[in-house]
Chains A and B, each alone.
Chain A
Amino acid sequence: MIEIRWHGRGGQGAKTASLLLADVAFNTGKYIQGFPEYGPERMGAPLTAYNRIDDEPIRIHSNIYEPNYVVVVDDTLVGPVDVCKGIDPNGAILINSSLEPSVIKEKLKDVNVKIYVIDASKIALETIGANFPNTALLAAIIKVTGLMSKEDLEKNMLDSFKHKFAKKPEVIEPNMEAVRRAYDEVKEV
């Protein structure tokens, strides 16, 4: 079972991202859970969302305390929130950030897991034309976890976008471009 914890802020779409990931994994025949931890529902307040992905039915219904992977949607959370709490030593953390790798490394100097960075917001602005980093983050975490190949991801996302954007077909290709770029541009620091 893979367990993933998302850290974001209210309004940034961490919940949506976790549900999207659940969707994508579901489409490959996995058993999935995608759920947010609702706190005070305020724009900008730190929030957490979770994913479990497995080949077997998932029965556990608690939050995730020892995630294999952590995704940080907003790098300003690193510090105020202990984003790496309980993380599997063999796991990894993925951060959406435009900061220099050395700066990120310094921020996470106490962490002994692999650190991946993606500038998902920049990709989103350059492809979709708005700061919707979800699609890019999703592609990046899929690459980091090795959940599926680039080809499978592209096929899967295309199907899902065709359905989701049936009335706005013009946004499908920009989103696909974000998927491809994020898959290629995510890197370990």
Chain B
Amino acid sequence: MSIKERLSGNEAVAYAMKQINPDVVPVYPITPSTEIPQYFSSFVANGTVDTEFVPVESEHSAMSAAIGASAAGARVMSATSSQGLALMYEMLYIASGMRLPIVLTCVNRAISAPINIHNDHSDSMGARDCGFIQLYCETNQEAYDNIIMAVKIAELAKLPVMVCYDGFITSHSVENIELLEDEKVKAFVGEYTPEHYLLNPDEHVSMGPLDLQNYFFEHRKQLADAMTNAKEIIAKVSKEFGDISGRYYDAFESYKLDDAEYGLVVLNSTAGTAKTVVDKLRDKGIKVGLLKPRMFRPMPHKELAESLKHLEAVAVMDKADSVNAMSGPVYTELVTALHKHDVHIPVSNYIYGLGGRDVKATDIEKVFRDILAAKDNKENLNGTFYLGVRE
């Protein structure tokens, strides 16, 4: 029997971390992820967990300490946002390159400048090529579930995992949630038994040695292969999680997409608002649907193309801008996926909600109306638009 509760996204993640009881949590607080270490440190102080909590002096140190602890053989978790993730950037590549299964919560927040504390995806999108698995969450429930799954995914894939959800919108909003019993989580994540680790008295290993022209490329190929193989691992762990929780997760969620003529692709909390818009338009007989990616790394390119190929047109919403005079990151990758699998449909791009600009149901309805109206004027469909911005 699950436990019905009401928690904010950050409370839910701190609670999941309590149930996981990781060995080491090195962390430096930054809005809007601050509550995670705040709540978790009280679990440490109360003796509810036996985690070594390391309050470091910067995010660079947080990830560095996480790498050291993980290499030593510990199960390690941390959390950050925005500039914090940016400051970790150098070490993110070390974590993935050393194949350390660190679980990092990224509470999505805009990257400065100008300075802003609110939600968009420019932090995690900026780190999309650092070799972390990236899972995106619509609700506090998905944040809780993905964090628990992330531990297992990371350890099986030997890759670090970043779980991303929207700052304030998800992190600070109290909503209904179903929690698993402590024993269930404990049994699900199990004991971490690394294959090689520095504190193993029976095996003396060196990690992170100099790796030059004749080996580096092969080690990067190993990383690429690990990311490809992670798809299957994520599917397997998600199935196991579904079996204990009743909540099954795929690489992405399709909402009323099968018989849709027009589709929308959007990450995180906005997908919830978009579902209400899909319902509203469906009530008027307009066949629209939604695709919400959960996995962005690895990219489920084949399955995405398969799910979208029957549509007349697709709009991709990006809560980050690549500033490349072309499009946002989700659009770029989605169009690549479609092209790769020989799907040629018009796809338009909407950069939206930067710096926490609220996304109303009417904004999303406008996107649908735009692509519907452009039915007979398809060159309008392949554009990049800044939704609701003052020109």
Report which A residues bind B (CB closer than 8 A): 19, 22-23, 26, 31-36, 38, 57-63, 65
Contact = CB atoms under 8 A, between A and B. Distances in A.
A32 B118 contact: no
A38 to B, nearest CB: 6
B275 A59 contact: yes
B360 A62 contact: yes
Contact of B273 (A19, A23, A59): A59
Contacts of A26: 6, 176
A61 B118 contact: no
Interface in B103-137: 117-118
A32 B361 contact: no
B361 A63 contact: no
Contacts of B6: 22-23, 26, 32, 34
B361 A62 contact: yes
B276 A35 contact: no
Interface string B140-176: 0000000000000000000000000010111011111
A35 to B, nearest CB: 4
Given A35-B168, A35-B169, A60 B273 contact: yes
B358 interface: yes
A153 to B, nearest CB: 18
B304 interface: no
Nearest to A61: B269
Contacts of B361: 60, 62
Contact of B168 (A31, A32, A38): A38
Interface residues of B, number: 22
Given A38-B117, A59-B273, A33 B358 contact: no
Contacts of A57: 176
Given A59-B272, A59-B276, A60-B276, A32 B176 contact: yes
B359 A62 contact: yes
Nearest to B173: A35
B118 A38 contact: yes
B176 A31 contact: yes
Interface in B325-372: 358-361
B174 A61 contact: no
Nearest to B364: A62
Given A35-B168, A35-B169, A38-B117, A62 B273 contact: yes
A6 B344 CA distance: 48
B270 interface: yes
A57 B174 CA distance: 13
Nearest to A58: B175
Nearest to B117: A38
B272 A32 contact: no
A175 to B, nearest CB: 20
Q: Which of B118, B176, B361 has the most CB of A within 10 A?
A: B176
Contacts of A36: 172
B173 A33 contact: yes
B277 to A, nearest CB: 9
Given A26-B6, A35-B169, A62 B358 contact: yes
Given A22-B6, A32-B6, A38-B117, A61 B172 contact: no
Leading 5 A-B pairs by shortest Cβ distance: A35-B173, A59-B272, A61-B269, A34-B174, A26-B6
Contacts of B172: 35-36, 38
Interface string B236-273: 00000000000000000000000000000000011011
Nearest to B277: A60
A62 B166 CA distance: 12
A68 to B, nearest CB: 16
Nearest to A23: B6
B174 A35 contact: yes
Contact of B358 (A19, A23, A31, A63): A63
A32 B273 contact: no
Contacts of A60: 272-273, 276, 361
B264 to A, nearest CB: 14
Interface in B275-302: 275-276
A61 B272 contact: yes
B175 A32 contact: yes
Interface string B1-26: 00000100000000000000000000
A16 to B, nearest CB: 11
A49 to B, nearest CB: 10
A143 B370 CA distance: 43
B273 A61 contact: yes
A19 B174 CA distance: 7
Contacts of B117: 38
A65 B173 contact: no
A148 to B, nearest CB: 16
B103 to A, nearest CB: 24
Q: Which of A23, A31, A58 has the most CB of B within 10 A?
A: A58
A61 B169 contact: yes
A53 to B, nearest CB: 11
Nearest to B168: A38
23 contacts: A22-B174, A26-B6, A26-B176, A31-B175, A31-B176, A33-B173, A34-B174, A35-B169, A35-B172, A35-B173, A36-B172, A38-B117, A38-B118, A38-B172, A57-B176, A59-B275, A59-B276, A60-B361, A61-B169, A61-B170, A61-B270, A62-B361, A63-B360
